[in-house]
A and B are shown apart, each in its own frame.
Chain A
């Protein structure tokens, strides 16, 4: 006789956050500056005339992820798992960061909801 599968331990659902960034000459405009730790999906829309891209840079200077080059009107997506800390959104096309295409954002520990009293 087959045994019923053992019940799995309850696991917390991963926190998935979203951010929308508009890129143009020469600025990045993120929809939020603080997100909870966990998975972050960033969409970037190039509303400018020139090509741009979007990278996420950690505090140690490493580029964690970068989109392909986005032509005018293109939409790009990044998916990252981020720990608490400060990060930077940058356009890596030469000269663009220097012209202003850099914005920081903060990843914070998710706030635990207090357990309900019965």
Chain B
């Protein structure tokens, strides 16, 4: 593999896993900075936030609060147009981690605020992110923190705080710890009429609690701090972060390094990401990618590559069929990743979505009957933003491109089959097996 080619493949890999794939020109520009330089640029986003055409549906800007489905388009649009891809991708990863769904919250305004909580702390400090979650309206509704009273403490937030947010299932806590933490988490209130969140000291349990072997009159903030300072937490969170960037197991020495750095930095996220994004595992087997693109990444990446914006609302339904709608994770544990994204139904949905995107691109009668096989393939590759494809795919495209117009010499056949060949080639490049992985 030539050196330049390898450098570009590494950047392409990085941009897919730490963002939503390259926009035109990104790969070459970042390849000149080298892998390390590119990682630093992602970790320290600066300058304008957005690129590409603004989302419009039927000619009008999105109205996420008042039109059903526009919330999903709104988040997707941010992934498509961002110039700060790692921060935006981490917002999506944290959405998976804190998996809060409008299916229960039932209030898009709260969900949009929830998004901004995730986005604000995306590359920041995990303790601060968790404390922000404690005061986040959507989260308070989702895990019944709002309304939890000392006479009947709700255990949902306490349970997920330990099981999913900080420690992992049955990892260093007991059922008693959950019950006691739930008592410390009482007092939050919500008024449905005014939509005001608050805190009522009279509803908070001020008695002694015993959590993780310590005794005290603990409050909600104490519980969050104790969970983050629990000895099992760094290992759990660093492993989870690793899993968002590669399906391969984390080497023991790397996990030790990450947990050390995470603790030393007082729970900063960026130093851990720096280790992951510079790790050789992330760049292994560049010609055989093994991470399945989550649906939002698949769609946003395709639109970024083509420099297109969101112009219709079908993406909301298509993302649902593919298995991932932002604002609607399936349950408290978030989305199943990697191979779980691919089933006959979801693959079909991905294929259909590309068909919708390309449907008006090439009209019958728009191509000459003199186009050769190589020209047709070159044209399709250029039109789709030069996506990576394996020699196997190239061979299959060549075989198809020759057969598709073989013997088609009548005028009506040329008018139909040459454009049809181009449509199919583009479709294969954007929706075929190579396009599903990174």
> Per-residue 0/1 for B53-70: is the Cβ within 8 Å of any A Cβ (1 yes, 0 no)?
000000000010111100
Q: Tell me the dominant secondary structure on chain A's binding face.
A: strand
- A63 interface residue per 8 A CB criterion: no
- B192 interface residue per 8 A CB criterion: yes
- A75 interface residue per 8 A CB criterion: yes
CB distance from B50 to the nearest CB of A (A): 24
Q: Are B192 and A27 interface neighbours, CB within 8 A? A: yes
- CB contacts under 8 Å to A, within B65-113, are 65-68, 102-104, 106-109
Q: Are A32 and B65 interface neighbours, CB within 8 A? A: yes
Q: Are B68 and A45 interface neighbours, CB within 8 A? A: yes
The complex places the Cα of A27 from the Cα of B109 at a distance, in Å, of 17
Q: Are B66 and A19 interface neighbours, CB within 8 A? A: yes
- CB contacts under 8 Å to B, within A1-50, are 17-20, 22, 24, 27, 29, 31-32, 43, 45, 47
A31 contact set on B, CB distance < 8 A: 65-66, 108-109
- CB contacts under 8 Å to B, within A47-84, are 47, 75
The complex places the Cα of A76 from the Cα of B66 at a distance, in Å, of 14
The complex places the Cα of A43 from the Cα of B63 at a distance, in Å, of 13
CB distance from B148 to the nearest CB of A (A): 18
Closest chain B residue to A44 by CB distance?
A: B68
Contact-residue size bin, chain B (C-beta under 8 Å from the other chain): 10 to 19
B67 contact set on A, CB distance < 8 A: 18, 20, 43
B66 contact set on A, CB distance < 8 A: 17-20, 31-32
CB distance from B66 to the nearest CB of A (A): 4
Among B68, B109, B192, which residue has the most Cβ atoms of chain A within 10 A? B68
The complex places the Cα of A45 from the Cα of B101 at a distance, in Å, of 14
Among A20, A32, A75, which residue has the most Cβ atoms of chain B within 10 A? A20
CB distance from A44 to the nearest CB of B (A): 9
A27 contact set on B, CB distance < 8 A: 192
The complex places the Cα of A75 from the Cα of B317 at a distance, in Å, of 13
* A18-B63, A27-B192, A31-B109 known; A75-B104 Cβ under 8 A: no
Closest chain B residue to A27 by CB distance?
A: B192
B108 contact set on A, CB distance < 8 A: 20, 31
The complex places the Cα of A17 from the Cα of B68 at a distance, in Å, of 13
Give the number of chain A interface residues (Cβ < 8 Å).
14
Q: Tell me the dominant secondary structure on chain B's binding face.
A: loop
A17 contact set on B, CB distance < 8 A: 66
The complex places the Cα of A20 from the Cα of B66 at a distance, in Å, of 5
B103 contact set on A, CB distance < 8 A: 47
The complex places the Cα of A22 from the Cα of B192 at a distance, in Å, of 13
Q: Are B65 and A75 interface neighbours, CB within 8 A? A: no
A43 contact set on B, CB distance < 8 A: 67-68
CB distance from A13 to the nearest CB of B (A): 13
CB distance from B90 to the nearest CB of A (A): 28
CB distance from A103 to the nearest CB of B (A): 9
Closest chain A residue to B68 by CB distance?
A: A43
Q: Are A24 and B106 interface neighbours, CB within 8 A? A: yes
The complex places the Cα of A47 from the Cα of B68 at a distance, in Å, of 12
The complex places the Cα of A24 from the Cα of B67 at a distance, in Å, of 18
Q: Are A75 and B106 interface neighbours, CB within 8 A? A: no
B107 contact set on A, CB distance < 8 A: 22, 29
A47 contact set on B, CB distance < 8 A: 102-104, 106
Q: Are B65 and A20 interface neighbours, CB within 8 A? A: yes
Among B63, B66, B102, B192, which residue has the most Cβ atoms of chain A within 10 A? B66
B109 contact set on A, CB distance < 8 A: 31
Identify B68's interface contact among A20, A29, A32, CB under 8 A.
A20
CB distance from A106 to the nearest CB of B (A): 14
The complex places the Cα of A52 from the Cα of B415 at a distance, in Å, of 53
B68 contact set on A, CB distance < 8 A: 20, 43, 45, 75
CB distance from A52 to the nearest CB of B (A): 12
CB distance from B108 to the nearest CB of A (A): 6
A29 contact set on B, CB distance < 8 A: 106-107, 192
> Per-residue 0/1 for B381-408: is the Cβ within 8 Å of any A Cβ (1 yes, 0 no)?
0000000000000000000000000000
The complex places the Cα of A40 from the Cα of B137 at a distance, in Å, of 28
> Per-residue 0/1 for B312-331: is the Cβ within 8 Å of any A Cβ (1 yes, 0 no)?
00000000000000000000
B192 contact set on A, CB distance < 8 A: 27, 29
Interface CB pairs A-B, < 8 A, 16: A17-B66, A18-B67, A19-B66, A20-B67, A22-B102, A22-B106, A24-B106, A29-B107, A31-B66, A31-B109, A32-B65, A43-B68, A45-B68, A45-B106, A47-B103, A75-B68
Task: Give A residues with C-beta under 8 Å from B.
Answer: 17-20, 22, 24, 27, 29, 31-32, 43, 45, 47, 75
Task: Known A-B contacts: A22-B106, A24-B106, A43-B67. Give 8 more (CB < 8 A).
Answer: A18-B63, A18-B67, A20-B67, A20-B68, A29-B106, A31-B65, A31-B109, A47-B102
10 closest Cβ pairs, A-B complex: A22-B106, A18-B66, A43-B68, A31-B65, A31-B66, A47-B106, A29-B106, A20-B66, A18-B67, A29-B107
